[in-house]
Amino acid sequence: MACRRWQHRLLSPPRVRYNHRVKIDATDGRARATTLATPHGEIATPIFMPVGTRGTVRTQTLAQLESLSAPIILGNTYHLMKRPGPELFEQLGGLHRWIGWTGAILTDSGGFQMFSLGEPDLLTPERSMAMQRALGSDIVMVLDRCIDSTSSHALAADAIEVTRAWAVRSKAAMAGSSQQLFGIVQGACYEDLRSASARQIVGIGFDGYAIGGLAVGETKAQREDMTELTAQLLPADKPRYLMGVGTPLDLLEAVHRGVDMFDCIMPTALAQHGIAFTTRGKLDLRRGVHRVADQPLDATCTCEACRRHSRSYLHHLVKCSEPLGWQLLAHHNLTFYLALSRAMRAAILGGTWSAFYAEHRERLAAVDIDNPPGPKPKQHRRPPITRGNFAVHTGVDFTSIRHIPSGEVMHSINDPDEEARRIYVEQSVAIADALAGRREIVVWDVGLGAAHNAMALVHALDDAEHANVALHSFEIDLDALHLALAHTKHFAHVRHPGPHLLAQRGQFVREQLTWTLHTGDFLETFAVAPQPDVIFYDPFSSKTDGGLWTLEVFRTLFAHLAKPVELFTFTSSTAVRSSLLAAGFDVARGVSTGPKVETTIALANATPALAKHSRLGRAWLDRRARSTASFGADIPPEQHAEVERAIRSHAQFAADPAVD
């Protein structure tokens, strides 16, 4: 009997077609209070949608979510397709039933994840729509091409054309479905492209419209300008959704400009770091001022964190990294966001929006009114730690190496160890085979530097039982390595015998690994090393170390390679990719890292086993034709036509893929 009651509770109501022309309850200026009907209840806007990416809002139980009175949550097609996959949802009756949620669900299409996680070919419009059908979400998003909001006009123009084509295909794939389908407007921060994209997407016709491609690099002023421009180009009788935004102040500003719906991971993500949004400003519970603070987090809030615990106790949980602290602060932040949504709606319905907006612009921008952070004490600068041409560079969260003559910093924005793992180890088919014990491989590490890339592989081998890898590192100047080895306090990755023995003896050997050092010019030393299966290509950039990024070097290297090879590098430069193609390599997209939307993979003597890598297609060639830097500086103008023919006639462009 208990089982039958549970099953009855989880069954979704019958699917009927709901007209998503919004009921506009009130307007005050451009701010709107509307009501949307869905099969799982009505949604009163403005509304913030908690993000349940993988079928759960992080740290929150179903009971906690229900206590928020949130009428709708968000799930993500990309992540749910990767795990547990569409077959499970088809078998068990959709996402609502699987997680036990009786409210509405909106599913994002996965376009942003393809952009941010560097898997551009994982989804097609048809595959995304099929997955969202299986999920049974109330609101479905078309697949769009998301790019960095600070991208060039040419790249943004290409993205809106892809977005338009994918929108048409998405709508066709959803024909006959009772789910509501929202189109997405792109265009980065260009008024003409935003306007063009809005005309295109509205012309196709959807149940609602989203403003995409913001909160990915632009300034606050740019985001607000693009939001206002785009919102006014969207139909008044359809929902307007600003994707991935943002802080409470961002929500207020967007409602002021005519937006109805929002989502963002910020309430739960910042809670993990001790950040809470309150009516007394944004609080950082990590600050020592809260250690003995006996007052509640927010005296006006009724969430469990505020009703039952002091700031002192929450400070303790945060400083100890106790999961309960994250859970309590996440629930508080979500409560704050939902309460703000209801307060904004009440102000619009009451005709007091202008006063509410003016008051809350200042209130929501405040930081800890009771204990405002003071100026940081002046710190006496210590002399830089240097060796030869290199210095220790201390960032906010990590330490790296700076090249003194050029000023170039190795890994200036991204954590060096995380970047090394993502770019050079995790993408490789050959390394995956070696870690699984299926084959022996040779890896070339070109540009040893402070050994971040090499140590990412060494640490991966630490957890492998049957691997067999020969690692060959090439470096002309060992001062960066010696600097890291002498300051292991700053460089945790070299707290390992391997790099120390390598520097002393030129080789480090253990059961799974033979690591050999080659000093000197790479072009004069690589011929003595065994043929590689994988190459980590990580010299300084072409501005600092231009001699290793030339077409001649790539041609010499390609001619030397006698078996299938994967080459990974941090750059996504059009000129470098062009030289690799002209040298004979197949060229594919690598994962994103930090501000880079893509990195680069080059393949020599490619085999079907390497088919997982997403090779550049003809659309990339078209974008390259519009680039002002399509040839390396080492290629004289009289050779441009020859190199252009070599690129255009490359075998990887023989088949014209439908989508790049």
List, by residue number, the catalytic residues.
108, 263
Among 104, 189, 118, 181, which Cα is nearest to 153's?
189
Q: Are 162 and 180 in contact (CB under 8 A)?
A: no
Among 617, 540, 611, which Cα is nearest to 571's?
540
* Biggest alpha carbon–alpha carbon distance for the chain: 83
DSSP state of 608: G
What distances in angstroms separate CA 130 from CA 152, 444, 456, 509, 612, one per listed residue? 32, 42, 38, 51, 22
Alpha carbons 417 and 442: distance in angstroms, whole number: 21
Amino acid at residue number 464? A
φ/ψ of 199, rounded to 5, equals: -60, -45
Amino acid at residue number 70? A
Burial of 287 (0-12, 13-18, 19+ CB in 10 A): middle
Angle, helix 220-231 to helix 248-256, in steps of 10 degrees: 40
Q: Are 147 and 159 in contact (CB under 8 A)?
A: yes
| Alpha-carbon dihedral 342, 346, 348, 349, rounded to 10 degrees | 130
φ/ψ of 576, rounded to 5, equals: -65, -45
Q: Specify the 3-state DSSP secondary structure of 307.
A: helix
Q: Are 191 and 232 in contact (CB under 8 A)?
A: no
DSSP state of 51: B
What distances in angstroms separate CA 435 from CA 275, 424, 460, 540, 641, one per listed residue? 39, 14, 8, 28, 44
Q: Are 223 and 159 in contact (CB under 8 A)?
A: no
Q: How crowded is the C-beta side of 474, counted as CA atoms within 13 Å? A: 24
Alpha carbons 32 and 348: distance in angstroms, whole number: 7
